[in-house]
Amino acid sequence: MKYLDEFRDPVLARRLLDEIRERVTRPRVLMEVCGGQTHSLLRYGIETELQGNVELIHGPGCPVRVTPAEAINFAQELALQPDVVVASFGDMLRVPGSTRSLADVRGAGGNVRIVYSPLDAIELARKKSDRHVVFFAVGFETTAPATALAVLQAAALGLDNFSLLVAHVRVLPAMEALMAAPGCRVQGFLAAGHVCTVTGFEEYDDFVRRHRTPVVVTGFEPVDLLGGILDCVTQLEEGRAEVTNQYARSVQRSGNVASQDVVGQVYEIADTPWRGLGVIPAGGYRLRPEFQMFDAAYRFADVASQQVTNSSVGNSGSSECHSGEVLSGRLRPIECPAFGTRCTPESPLGAPMVSSEGACSAYFRYQSQAGR
Amino acid sequence: MADESWQLHCPIPIPADSDRISLAHGEGGRLMRRLIEEQILPRFRDSGDAVRSPGDAALLPAIDSGLALTTDSFVASPLFFPGGDVGRLAVFGTVNDLVVAGAEPLWLSLSLIIEEGLPVAVLERVLDSAAAAAVEAGVRIVTGDTKVVPRGAADGLFLNTSGVGRILEPAPPGPESLQPGDELIISGPIGRHGIAILAAREQLGLTPSPETDCACLREPARCLRDAAIPVRAMRDATRGGVTAVLHEWAAASGHTLTIDAIAIPTTPDVRGAAELLGLDPLHIANEGTMLIAVPQGTGAAAVAALQGSAISREATVIGRLGQRGVAPVTVVRALGREQPLDEPSGILLPRIC
C-alpha cells in the first residue's frame, strides 16, 4: 500500500536504527508529542531497540487523556437530559469522568451516539429536529477545523438544535508548559505530524530559539519515527537546535491555510484546563462570541452550573491515577503502582489507560505481559 | 377452512398496511399461518429426503456416527451489506461452526424474531438468501420458529440457527493437542467482515465498498481431508478476530503462539480502512476465514490443499507454536522484534485522530 509499506520497510528501519546508535555519543532524552507516535514506538519495539541510546518520554498529545474530567462530567449530564443526544468520537466513550464514563451513562439510559465526523452530528441534528444534538468537540488542532466547519454549516443551515461542547486543546502551549516545569529532562521534541499538517511549523521557530531545543516534525510509521529520532539526535550531537520537517509528504511549512482560516473564524484562543496538567495559558480554543448559540455551555448553562456545584471538590479523576506525572514525563507508566493491577484497559483509573493512543494503554498492550 | 374465516377471536386487528409485518403475524392465527405457509415453507421445502416435519419438530433419520450440535444468533446491523446479508450469515455461521469441529453439516433450524413494521419484502429477501445459502452449503433447514415483537424491542430482524452434523472421523483433536513446532495457517485475507459491516453501518463512504468474507468453509475443510492433512485444530475467526482464536488456543494448549505480521494477508481496502480508523485487522471479525493448526512440516501441504478451493485460495502459513514464553501470543512486526499481542478488550472504538 502506497505511503504505508515504504515507511514500514524493515531494511530501511534497521539501517536507521544502526545510524542512530552510531551517532549517539551519550544517552539522549527525547519526547514524542503525540500518542499515535507512542503507540507506534511500542508496537514496533523501537523503544526497546534504542535502550541505552535514546530515552523516549511520552508526551501529552492524546486528546482523550487530556480532556478534563469536568468536561466529561458535563457531557454525561447532558446525555441524561431529556431530548438531548450527545454525539462523540468513539474514543471518548470509555474515558472516566469523576465517577463514570459516557459508556456507563449510555448503559444507564443516557443518549450517547458514536459518530465518525462532526458533520455526521449535523446530519443527526437535521434528522432529529425534536432533539438537541451536542457534539463533544475534543482534540488538538487536527480535529478543530472539522468541528469549526460543523459550526459554520449549522449556522448556514440555521440549525437551532445543534451545539458543541468544546474541549479543544493546542499542542504548542503544552510543550511550553512542559519545558517550564521543574525537572524537565526533555532535550528534543518529535512534533506531531498530524497537528503540523494543519498548523504548519513556523510557530516552532520562536520555541526552538528560546529553549535551544530541536523540534523535528515527525510522522507515525517506524521509518518516520526513526528518521525523526535520527534528525533530533544528530542536531543534539552537533550542538544545533532547529525546526526540521521529517514528514514532508504531509506537512508544509505554513500548514493548511484553509483549515487555519476556518478555525480562526469560529474559535478564539483561550486558557484551557488539561487533565493532569492544570490550566495551560492559551492551551485551547473556545467559540467566538458570535457563535455563542452553538456553545453547549451557554445553551445548557443551568446544567453546567449544577455540575460545577457537584464537582466542587475539584475532583478531576481518581486520586490513585498518576496521569499528570505520566503526561509530563516524570513517571513511566509501568512505574505507576496501579499499573496493570488496579488499572487496566478494561477498568481504567485514568485516561491514559483508555485511549488507543494513551501511553499507559500502549505499555499494557505491548510491553507489560512479561510481568503479568 | 371455510369455518375458520368466521372465527370471532381476533385479538389484534389485521393491519391495513399488508406490506409490513405486524404483531398479528406473530399471534398464532391466520396471518401467522399464512406467513409461514406462503413465505417460509415454500423456500425450504424439499421433497425426496428422509426428514419429515409433521408438526413443530423435524423427525430426523438415524445415522451411524456421532453427532455435533451448535447454535448461534445473528443480529447484524444493517441486515444487508456488501457481499452478504443476515440470512446468508445465519446459515454459513452455523454451518462453519460444525465444519471447524470436524463435522459434516446436515440439518439446520431457523428462528426469526421480527420487529413489528419490518417490510415483508425485506423478510422475503433474507429468507431467499438463507435458502440459497443452505443449498450452497448442502444443508437442509428442517424446522424453525417465528416471533414478532413490538417496534423498538428488536432491531429489524434477529435470526437464530442451530445445526446438527455428522462427526467425520478422524475429527481434529482440538486446541489442547497443539504442540510446539505446529504451524498456523490462515485460510484467507482477514478483517473483511467487520470492516464491511462498519463501513455499511456508519456509511463511511469508502470506495470501493469493502466486502464481507461471509462464506461456507465446507469446501476448504474437505480439501484438507482429501489431502489427508493431520489437522490439529480449526476455528473460524469470527468475533474478536484472529487474535481471539490465538488467545483461546494459547490458553488451551499452554504454549505460545507466534505470528508474523508481514505474512498475514489483508486486502488493500481492509488495510486502508483499518489504518484510517485506528483498528488492527487482527482484532476484526471474519465470517468465512479460519485459522488452522497442523503439525510441523505439514504447513506447505496444507496450504497447497486449501488453495484447491476458491474460498481459501489465498491461504498461507502465518505463524507457529513455541514453548510458553513471556506472553501467550506474540507477533513479529517489521523490525523483527517479537512482541506480545494482547487480546482485544471490549468493543473496538474508532480513534479521534
Which distant-in-sequence residues (6+ apart) come within 8 Å of A115 by Cβ? A87, A88, A89, A121, A124, A135
pLDDT tens across B116-126, in order?
Answer: 999 999 999 99
Residues B229 and B328 both lie in one domain? yes
pLDDT tens across A176-204, in order?
Answer: 999 998 888 999 999 999 999 999 999 99
Residues B24 and B151 both lie in one domain? yes
pLDDT tens across A18-28, in order?
Answer: 999 999 999 99
Residue B235 lies in a domain: yes
Cell of A325: 506525572
pLDDT band at A122 (very low <50, low <70, confident <90, very high): very high
Distance from CA of A306 to the nearest CA of B (A): 29
The CATH number that applies at residue B210 is 3.90.650.10
- Determine the pLDDT at residue A319: 67
pLDDT tens across B56-79, in order?
Answer: 789 999 999 999 999 999 998 999
Which residue would you say has higher pLDDT here, A243 or A353?
Answer: A243
Residues B162 and B195 both lie in one domain? no
- Determine the pLDDT at residue A161: 97
pLDDT band at B1 (very low <50, low <70, confident <90, very high): very low
Residues B163 and B180 both lie in one domain? no
pLDDT beyond 60 at B6: no
- Inter-axis angle of helices B86-100 and B120-137, nearest 10: 30
Residues B38 and B159 both lie in one domain? yes
The shortest CB-CB distance from A4 to any of B204, B275, B353 is to B275
**Domain termination residue (choose one: B133, B167, B201):** B167
Nearest C-alpha neighbor of B21 from the set B163, B146, B162: B146
Which residue would you say has higher pLDDT here, A370 or B272?
Answer: B272
Contact (CB<8Å) A45/B268: no
Residue B351 lies in a domain: no
- Determine the pLDDT at residue A316: 46
**Domain termination residue (choose one: B122, B144, B167):** B167
Q: What are the distances in angstroms from CA B199 to CA A245, B94, B209?
A: 34, 24, 7
Residue B240 lies in a domain: yes
A135 in Cβ contact with A115 (< 8 Å) = yes
- Determine the pLDDT at residue B187: 98
The CATH number that applies at residue B74 is 3.30.1330.10
Residues B142 and B276 both lie in one domain? no
Within an 8 Å CB–CB cutoff, is residue B174 touching chain A?
A: no
pLDDT beyond 50 at B290: yes
Half-sphere exposure (CA, 13 Å, Cβ side) for A332? 11
Residue B1 lies in a domain: no
What predicted TM-score, i.e. pTM, was given to this entire model?
Answer: 0.85
Average pLDDT of A55-80? 91
Contact (CB<8Å) B333/A116: no
pLDDT beyond 80 at A150: yes
- Could you tell me which residues are beta bridge partners of residue A101? A96
Optimal mutation site among B201, B246, B333, B352, interface A, most CBs of chain A within 10 A: B352
Tell me the torsion sign for CA atoms A92, A94, A96, A99: positive
- Determine the pLDDT at residue B168: 95
Contacts A16 to B, Cβ<8 Å = none
Residue B101 lies in a domain: yes
Residues B289 and B203 both lie in one domain? yes
Q: What is the ipTM of this complex?
A: 0.78
Please state the domain extents for chain A.
68-168+256-299, 323-364
Contact (CB<8Å) A364/B342: yes
Contacts A138 to B, Cβ<8 Å = 352
Strand B183-186 to B290-294 pairing? antiparallel
In chain A, whose CA is at the least distance from the CA of B198? A116
In chain A, whose CA is at the least distance from the CA of B325? A370
Structural domain harbouring B37 = 17-45+65-167
Cell of B300: 506447505
Residues B157 and B192 both lie in one domain? no
pLDDT tens across A200-231, in order?
Answer: 999 999 999 999 999 999 999 999 999 999 99
Which residue would you say has higher pLDDT here, B8 or B348?
Answer: B348
Residues B328 and B179 both lie in one domain? yes
Residues B256 and B221 both lie in one domain? yes
- Chain B, residues 294-353, CB within 8 A of chain A, namely 326-328, 333-337, 339-340, 342, 345-346, 349-353
Half-sphere exposure (CA, 13 Å, Cβ side) for B11? 8
Residues B114 and B205 both lie in one domain? no
Residue B9 lies in a domain: no
Region of poorest pLDDT, from B39-43, B252-256, B286-290: B39-43
Q: Give me the architecture of the A68-168+256-299 domain, per CATH.
A: 3-Layer(aba) Sandwich (3.40)
pLDDT tens across B189-205, in order?
Answer: 999 999 999 999 888 88
A150 in Cβ contact with A113 (< 8 Å) = no
d(CA A210, CA B55): 86
Which distant-in-sequence residues (6+ apart) come within 8 Å of A314 by Cβ? none
Nearest C-alpha neighbor of A277 from the set A198, A351, A194: A351
Q: What is the DSSP string of A176-228?
A: HHHHHSTT----EEEEEHHHHHHH-STTHHHHHHHHT--EEEE-SSHHHHHHH
Residues B278 and B152 both lie in one domain? no
The shortest CB-CB distance from A346 to any of B340, B345, B353 is to B345
- Could you tell me which residues are beta bridge partners of residue B157? B114
Task: Please state the three-class secondary structure of B128-196 as a single string.
Answer: HHHHHHHHHHCCEEEEEEEEEECCCCCCCEEEEEEEEEEECCCCCCCHHHCCCCCEEEECCCCCHHHHH
Residue B3 lies in a domain: no
Cell of B88: 446468508
Distance from CA of B205 to the nearest CA of A (A): 11
Nearest C-alpha neighbor of B183 from the set B293, B57, B48: B293
- Counting the structural domains of chain B, the total is 2
Residue B52 lies in a domain: no
